[in-house]
Amino acid sequence: MSEEIYQDVASEMGESILDIDTGDAVEPTCVEDGEYKIRITGFKKDNDGKIVRTKTETGNKFFIVNFDIPYEASSKNFSKIFSVPVEGMDAKRLNGVKWDLECLKRAFNLTELNFNEMVGREGYAILRKSSSEQYGEQNDIVKFIIGA
């Protein structure tokens, strides 16, 4: 932390040391497979601050939604990628992309995909634990629970 930032924080707090007991903190972990109430916490943005991104190689568009499990204090946060319909998608792919977006809307009781109104919304999903060399252990959304 730069000295300038530290001084700003210290002056806001009225002290030069933050007296916070962190001894009871635990490392976040993945939850076991099952149904959970989840919350939208935000979106991953690209370097230009855009939410909807374009894959350079394919021209496909997508956005990444960040989630947490609000009632599991030590659970890891996780994310899910959603594709966006683009010209040239075959009918099967287009339907699948639209259905994924419709499930997101239904699970979180959204009338439209307005990024400004999605943060903080809660819904239900079936989660599973997975592991990869690149990301380690994480939770994935298997399916949104619609109408819960």
Tally Cβ neighbours within 10 Å of residue 100: 15
Residue ranges per domain, the chain? 26-145
**Tens digit of pLDDT per residue, the chain (148 long)?**
445 544 555 556 555 677 888 899 999 999 999 999 999 999 999 989 999 988 878 888 999 999 999 999 999 999 999 999 999 899 999 999 999 999 999 999 999 999 999 999 999 999 999 998 988 999 999 999 997 6
* Sole residue written with tokens 């002056």: 11
Spatial distance between the Cα atoms of 114 and 87, rounded to a whole number of angstroms: 21
